[in-house]
Structures are given as structure tokens and as C-alpha cells.
Amino acid sequence: MSKITCECGHVNPEGTVLCEACGKPFEANQHLNNNKPEQLLNMRYDGSARRSQTYQRTFIDKTWNFFSSVKIGVSIIIVIVIASALGTIFPQEMYLPPGSDPSTHYKDQYGILGQIYYQLGFHNLYSSWWYLLLLAMLGISIVIASIDRFVPLYKTLRKQKPKRHPNFMKKQRIFGETDSGNIDYKKLKANLKSKRYNLYEEDGNILAEKNRFSRWGPYVNHIGLIIVLLGAMLRFVPAMYMDEFLWVREGETKQIVGTDGIYYMKNKDFILETYDMEDEGNSQFRESLQKQSAPVPENYQTNAVIYKRTDLPVVPGKEPELKKVKEAEARVNHPIPLENGISLYQASYQLNEFSSMTFKLHDKGDEESNYGEFTVDLIEPKDEYELENGTTVKLERYFPEFELEDGEPKQVSKFPRNPAFIFEVDAPGEEPEVSFAGIGVNIDASGNNDYKLGLTNFETRDVTGLTVKKDYTLPIIAVGAAIFMIGVIQGMYWNHRRIWIQPKGAGVWVAGHTNKNWFALKKDIDRTLEGTGIDFPVDQQEEKDAEERRKDDGIISD
């Protein structure tokens, strides 16, 4: 370690560009901040000694330097931006219509481009290993880049002294010399104080500083980001996160998945309301509703009863003893909270699922005849139904949802949306007859049946689809987001301003620096110098600009 001892007596760590105490530029290190003799000083991180700029030998140094580079950080951001955009060209797999097969869907819907998209794995881009790797790299970059800058900057700003080296003063963007000796220091200090500057003095040299805390904004917001990323990572821990789905029919009571068998819910009623054009309360929407080809939904709601099992611990197979906890409504935007951070969200529904069907046995040629009726419960159908006249109807097969394929019934799903049955009718003393009955179909298997089963009645009910969600990472992510907001506001809405004032001979030198918003700094300086006898300093950068423009721009300005 080769420390640098400044002429002011301060000992600086290796790699320091500007003396921590007096700001003197150290000749040997000016290249680290790209400082050129004819230019103004680059004031980034106040010329402090950053590890990444100082050590570049070992593997660790090189890794550190790689991730601490803002150029690399921004490059990672740009790659993430491009990758994220690619993921929106076609829908992600999770947004495909239910039941579609991604291996054919992309090709069928989007042709060859879709096929390529699928084969590159872009249909699951945001959970791909390389996308997560990019996010992880960004996280590492944020941590290393912040440490690399924060620590030396913090030390330097703490060690700064009011008395600055002449080369530091002269090479500030805002700089001015006043020769007259008639200067009202008292008024100057009062002015600075009224502008809420903190004053530090050393042998008549003044440092006026305000809002140093805004320099910590970036580091604070980076801490917030890291917390958010860590929180998001925790979702991979099963105990922290749960995402289940629950279908409950009206009237049915079901165990709530993911609650270890402790909670049950009953679906008392599922409600779908649509906007009624005739309703006076909706008169303002009439014009819009008239244009719609389909009714516009107004509300999806499940009226639920939540139960808790009391006979704990749970014995498998034992009928649960339930105690009502509460009645609650699940609506979109209004989930039902259970204990332990679990919530039920209204997510889906199925209207008018059949719950029961009633058939009547009659003569094939005579609809009026009646040998008895029976009702099939579609959730728990019986194997046999006894009619009043002694006939038994056996349920040979049950198709909850069927389609006819080449004259043969085929099961489509296990949900009773379009049920059909194969019945065997056993009348006393007669040959058994087989028939196929459903909605709008009634097929006589042999063609010689004497009896026919006619549908006389049916009942329907709705089914609600709820997600059961638990996410213990939410508080962590919320804290991270809050810290981020505090940091970003602290860094963006305030700015660090410093004004140095140095008596020189009979007159005085003034220099000023801010990390951003030079416009406001200049206004501050102009106002504080008013009536103190000090000349207004100039913006040396602005002067240089004007000169350059005159030289090569073609337009003469200002």
C-alpha cells in the first residue's frame, strides 16, 4: 500500500485522485478520472480512491472491476430490456388459452416465426435460466458497484476541509475571482445560512454545503432493489409461497387446498351480473353498451362460508367436524382473507353446470304414458334406480360431457356440462332394453325397444373457480420497494451543493460544485453574493461551450 501524503499534510489512500482534505489533484492519478490539464476537474466521487480503479491484478480484482463498472451494469440492463421485449412478441405459455398445447399452438397460430419462438424457449422466457442469470448479474453489479463507490465517497466527504488547493478551486465549473478588498463576510455568511447551507470555516476559508445526504440516495435505492430481488428469490422456497386452484360447485363444501385440511369452504352462491341497459343507474353507459355485441360483466362474486375443522389433528378418512368461521364474499379486487396470510381470489367460473336430471319411463310410441320417474344426481349417480311399478333402471355408463364421434359417444371432460347416459331398463318379466339418453339425443340401441326414457326436468348450478394464494415474500418486497422509493427521491429531488470561499490577497475566490442541477446552484450563488461585494463567478463550462460552438457549429449564438 503506497499512501499519498498531500502537501496539506493529509495522508490519502492509494489511488486517490483529489486529496480528500484539500482537493489537490495528484498528478500521477489524474488518468483514473480522465482528467486533462486543459479541462475542468472531473468531480465524480470527489476524486476518491475506488478499489476498482486502484487494484487490477488478481482474479478477484478483475471480477470486482467487471461488476463495479457502470458500463457493464448498463449493458446488462440493455440486454434485459431487449430480452424482455422479445418475450412480448407472442404470448407467454401461461397466457395461452387453457388446454392448448404449446408445441403446436405457436406453429398453428403464428407460423414459422411462432415455431422458432417456441423452439428457442421464448414461450417461457421470464423463467428461463438465462433470464434469471441476467437478473442475478444485475443484482451483483448493483451490490459491487455501490460498495465500490459509496465507501470511498463517504470517507472523502467526511474528511473534506474548507481550505482547498488553488488548482482545485480554479478547475471547478463555477469559479470567480474578486480583487476588491471591500467584502462583507458577515452578510455573506448570513446569506448562506438563510439558504440553509452548513458553514465550515478554517483560517478564513469557508465551505458552505447542503444536502450531502442526497449523495446517499443511489446507494439507498440500490439497497431497496437488492431487497426486492432477494424477496423475489425467496418465492422459490415452498414455505414462503403457495398458488393453488379450487373449483367449488354451488351448494358444495370443499376442503381448501394448501391449508393442511384445516379449512373448508362452502359455495352458497355464485353471482355473475352484467350491466343492464334499461337500469336507470346505468343510463350514462347506454351508448357504450348498445355498441357491444355481448353483455358487459359488472360483477363476479362468490358468496362463501368458511369453516374450520375442529377435530384436530386430522385423521385421514375421518368425516371432518366443521365449525363456521365466517361468511364472506369473494369478488374481483376483493379477496377473502383466511388466517396465516392465505387468501381466496375470485378467478374463474363455469355457469349452468348440470346438477341433476330427471327421466320418465314411457312407451316408445306414447309420450303420455308414464311408468315412473327417477332423478340422477350428476355428482353422485347411483348404479340403479327403482321405479314405482317395480322396474329397475340400471345406469350402465355415465358421460359427464360427451361428443358423438362416428356415432359412438366419447367422453370429453369429467364436468357435467353435456351429460349423457347408457341405461338398461329391466321391466319385470321382460327382456332388458338398452338405450342412450342425453340432451337432444335419445338412441334406441337395438332398434326394437318398447320403452323410452324421456328427459322431463333438470337442474343446473354454477361453479366458482378460486385461487388460493399465500405469499410471505410480500412484506419483504414491500419494504424493498419503500426503501427504493426513499432512496430515489432522496437522490433525485435534492442535490448536493457546495460553495467554497477563499480570501486571496486583497480579494476572494469563489468556486461551486453540485452533483446535478447547476441552474439552481448558480441561482443560489447569485443570491448569496448579492450585496457582499463579491463578483458573480462564471460557469466555465458554459463559456467553453459557447467558444466551441462559435468555432465549429455553423450557427453563431448567445
Partner 1 sequence: MELSAISSNLLYASFFIYLIATFIFGATVKMTNEKTNKKLGNAGIGLTIVGFITQIGYFITRWIAAGHAPVSNLFEFMTFFGMMLVFGFIVLFLIYRITLLGLFALPVALLVIAYASMFPTEISPLVPSLKSHWLYIHVTTAALGQAILAISFAAGLIYLIRQVNQEKATKRTRWLEFVLFALMSALGYIVVASGFGAADYKTVFEAPVNEQMTEITYEMPAIAGPNDGELVTEGAFGPLFETPGWMQGVNAPVKFNTIIWSLMAGLVIYGLLRLILRKRIAKSIQPLLKSASPRLVDEVSYRSVAIGFPVFTLGAIIFASIWAQEAWDRFWGWDPKEVWALITWLFYAAFLHLRLTRGWEGERSAWLAVIGFAIIMFNLLAVNLIISGLHSYA
Report the C-alpha gap between 15 and 23 in whole angstroms: 14
363-422 positions binding partner 1, by CB under 8 A: none
Nearer to partner 1, 28 or 555 (CB): 555
Q: Does 136 bind partner 1 (CB under 8 A)?
A: no
Q: Does 73 bind partner 1 (CB under 8 A)?
A: yes
Residues 164 and 23: beta-carbon distance below 8 Å: yes
Q: Based on C-alpha coordinates, what's the Rg of the chain?
A: 39
CB of 45 to partner 1, least distance (A): 9
Nearer to partner 1, 138 or 188 (CB): 138
295-334 positions binding partner 1, by CB under 8 A: 296-300, 331-334
Report the C-alpha gap between 434 and 302 in whole angstroms: 41
Q: Does 271 bind partner 1 (CB under 8 A)?
A: no
* Interface segment toward partner 1; rule CB under 8 A; list 22-30, 85-93, 160-168, 318-326: 85-93
Residues 89 and 82: beta-carbon distance below 8 Å: no
Q: At what angle do helices 217-234 and 474-492 cross, to 10 degrees?
A: 160
Q: Does 343 bind partner 1 (CB under 8 A)?
A: yes
Question: Distances from the Cα of 354 to the Cαs of 222, 316, 459, 500, in angstroms?
Answer: 56, 30, 6, 84
- Site track 96-135 with partner 1 (rule: CB under 8 A), x = hit: -------------xxx-x------------x---------
Nearer to partner 1, 379 or 474 (CB): 474
Q: Does 219 bind partner 1 (CB under 8 A)?
A: no
CB of 110 to partner 1, least distance (A): 6
Cis peptide before 313 (omega within 30 of 0): yes
Nearer to partner 1, 410 or 493 (CB): 493
Q: Does 94 bind partner 1 (CB under 8 A)?
A: yes
Report the C-alpha gap between 183 and 501 in whole angstroms: 12
Nearer to partner 1, 22 or 347 (CB): 347
Residue 228 bridge partners (DSSP): none
Q: Does 39 bind partner 1 (CB under 8 A)?
A: no
Q: Does 244 bind partner 1 (CB under 8 A)?
A: no
Residues 344 and 330: beta-carbon distance below 8 Å: yes
| C-alpha dihedral sign at 25, 213, 230, 151 | positive
Q: Does 236 bind partner 1 (CB under 8 A)?
A: no
449-478 positions binding partner 1, by CB under 8 A: 467, 469, 471, 474, 477
Nearer to partner 1, 59 or 95 (CB): 95
Q: What number of chain residues touch partner 1 (CB under 8 A)?
A: 72
Residues 231 and 472: beta-carbon distance below 8 Å: no
CB of 553 to partner 1, least distance (A): 7
Q: Does 481 bind partner 1 (CB under 8 A)?
A: yes
Cα torsion through 224, 226, 231, 232, rounded to 10: 120
Q: Does 237 bind partner 1 (CB under 8 A)?
A: no
* Interface segment toward partner 1; rule CB under 8 A; list 82-90, 307-315, 499-507, 524-532: 82-90
- Quick one: the chain helix, strand, coil %, rounded to 5? 35, 30, 30
Nearer to partner 1, 368 or 547 (CB): 547
Residues 418 and 454: beta-carbon distance below 8 Å: no
